[in-house]
Amino acid sequence: MSPPSILSDDLLRQLMAVGQVDIMVGVPTLNNAATVGAVVQAAHFAFGNHFARERTVLINSDGGSSDGTPDIVREASRVESETVLAAHSLRTRHRISAPYHGVPGKGTALRTLFAAADLLQARAVAILDPEITSITPDGVFALLGPVLRDGVDFVSPAYARHPLDGPLVSQLVRPLFRAAYGRRLHEPMAADLGCSGTFAASCLEEAVWESDFARYGIDLWLSCAAVAGGFRMAEAALGPRTLGPRVARPGLQELFPQVVGSLFSCLEMHEAFWAGRTGSEAVPLLGEAPAVAGPAPPVERASLIEAFRTGVTDLGPLLEQVLSPETLEALHALSRAEGVITYPDRLWVATVMEFAAAHYRGVMHRQHLLQALVPLYLGRLAAFHARAEEVGVDATERALEALGESFEEAKPHLLGLWNKEGGR
């Protein structure tokens, strides 16, 4: 009995017609008609402006859109203005739009794209998020160029963002990733990326594609796999990031366990890699260092604090199973405080690490555990916002750097909890 195919026969036939390529741009979609056109056009212009001689293909791997996304992709690829471009491709530009097989989700779409890249022997691959409409032809070039030119295997974007934008990344994902994996990446779970064909092929060999990772945490897993696999990495400055309108985005209660659960699971998967490492190193940044861009996102600080207090009170018995008495006591003290709370870095780092270790050791159902961290995260978010408001943008940037250092310094604490007897 042969294993089920990743690639449909229709897609394979189209790949046969394309043959070997130098560059592949992949766009995974699911009902992205409103935004995907701009993304595809950026890729298309990048082919003309930057890769006139290279063999290129754009592949849209679609999860069964009902809003005409594949049609938009096809139309956007047919740029009538090509003839007036100063530089245009010398070769046929191939574009393919094909539905993917398997469990719906980005993982399946990516697996399809990586399999196509492997078959086409693509030297460089860019994966573009159909919702990030700020991507430009130069941005596409920035993701692909280092792979073709410098032999980089994994290019992660660095966006110009406000330090309070994307707090789940800045407060938890980025610093924990930094401490564990020893690399300072701006966006460890970026949806846009560039990579080598070698990296894509190696990812295909990993046993993650049938797991929950594939649905919720594949972007994060790719960064982790790049570091753990010893691949050469770089960051590309892409400027500000703009997300197009979308019908519905998952709320924090849904998103938080997906993201944080994925990161905790990555730690478990790559334990042999990170456990013995200390310190961190920056990943080479290509292009201008990302500046602060955009306004601070608004938050309802009072409701965050209320959620924190309620959580600490209601989830007390559950938190007792996860947190050390010192951490728990400090949280109770915080929850009893009047007005604006102060959630210090040291306490936040301890909270996260104790949850990560408890996740690893399976002290309770993992979904329950991750949900229990949400109110604590909201408390930390409220506290950080309050402090940022006082100190300004530059100091907030520095505070985020200091948070990263605190996570690094506390890594022995994480290891101690991880290896604690009586666990798994």
Partner 1 sequence: MGSDDLWYKDAIFYELPVKAYSDANGDGIGDFSGLTGRLDHLQDLGVDCIWVLPMYPSPFRDDGYDISDYYGIHPSYGSLDDFRAFLDTAHARGLKVLTELVVNHTSDAHPWFVEARNNPDSPRRDWYVWSDTDDRYHGVRIIFSDTERSNWAWDPVSKAHYWHRFFSHQPDLNYDNPTVREEMWNIMRFWLELGVDGFRVDAVPYLIEREGTSCENLPETHEVLKFLRRRLDEHFPGRVLLAEANMWPEDVQPYFAEGDEFHMAFHFPIMPRMFMALRLEDRKPLEEIFERTPAIPDSCQWALFLRNHDELTLEMVTNVERDYMYEQYARDPVARINLGIRHRLAPLLEGDRRRIELMNGLLMSLPGTPVLYYGDEIGMGDNIYLGDRNGVRTPMQWTGGWNAGFSTADPERLYQPLIQNPVYGYQAVNVESQRRQENSLLNWMKRLIRGRKSTRVFSRGGIEFLRPANHRVLAYVRALDHEKVLVVNNLSSTAQAVELDLRALAGAIPIEMFGRSLFPRINESPYVLTLGPYDFFWFRLRWL
The contact set with partner 1 (CB under 8 A) reads 2-7, 9, 12-13, 15-16, 19-20, 115, 118-121, 204
**Of residues 118 and 345, the one with the C-beta less far from partner 1:** 118
**Of residues 204 and 364, the one with the C-beta less far from partner 1:** 204
- Report the 10 Å Cβ neighbour count for 397: 16
Q: How far is CA 49 from CA 20, 54, 141, 239, in A?
A: 21, 11, 9, 19
- Report the 10 Å Cβ neighbour count for 16: 10
Phi, then psi, of 24 in degrees rounded to 5? -125, 130
Q: Which two tokens stand for residue 400?
A: 């985020």
Minimum Å distance from CB 60 to partner 1?
18
What 226-230 contacts at long range (C-beta under 8 Å, 24+ apart), as own/partner pairs, is: 226/153, 226/154, 226/195, 226/199, 227/181, 227/182, 227/183, 227/273, 228/181, 228/270, 228/273, 228/274, 229/199, 229/202
**Of residues 206 and 300, the one with the C-beta less far from partner 1:** 206
**Of residues 6 and 222, the one with the C-beta less far from partner 1:** 6
Element (H, E) at 160: strand 154-160
**Of residues 57 and 169, the one with the C-beta less far from partner 1:** 57
Side-chain half-sphere of 277: how many Cα atoms within 13 Å? 19
Minimum Å distance from CB 118 to partner 1?
7
Count each helix (H run) and each strand (E run) in the chain, helices first. 19, 10
SS3 164: coil
Report the alpha-carbon distance of residue 226 to residue 208 in Å, rounded: 14
**Of residues 18 and 341, the one with the C-beta less far from partner 1:** 18
Nearest to 356 by CA among 267, 269, 275: 267
Minimum Å distance from CB 197 to partner 1?
11
Minimum Å distance from CB 138 to partner 1?
31
**Of residues 204 and 296, the one with the C-beta less far from partner 1:** 204
Minimum Å distance from CB 54 to partner 1?
16
Report the alpha-carbon distance of residue 379 to residue 309 in Å, rounded: 8
Q: Which two tokens stand for residue 386?
A: 């309050």
Minimum Å distance from CB 22 to partner 1?
13
Residues ≥6 apart with Cβ < 8 Å to 1: none
181 and 224 in contact (C-beta within 8 Å)? yes
**Of residues 46 and 119, the one with the C-beta less far from partner 1:** 119
Minimum Å distance from CB 129 to partner 1?
24
Minimum Å distance from CB 151 to partner 1?
20
Minimum Å distance from CB 324 to partner 1?
47
Q: Which residues of 22-41 are buried (b: 16+ CB within 10 A; e: fewer)?
A: bbbbbbbbbbbbbbbbbbbb
Minimum Å distance from CB 43 to partner 1?
22
Q: In the beta sheet, which residues pair with residue 286?
A: 236
Q: Is 88 exposed, middle or buried (0-12, 13-18, 19+ CB in 10 A)?
A: middle
Gap between the terminal Cα atoms of the chain = 36
SS3 421: coil
**Of residues 12 and 415, the one with the C-beta less far from partner 1:** 12
Minimum Å distance from CB 51 to partner 1?
20
**Of residues 121 and 258, the one with the C-beta less far from partner 1:** 121
**Of residues 54 and 405, the one with the C-beta less far from partner 1:** 54
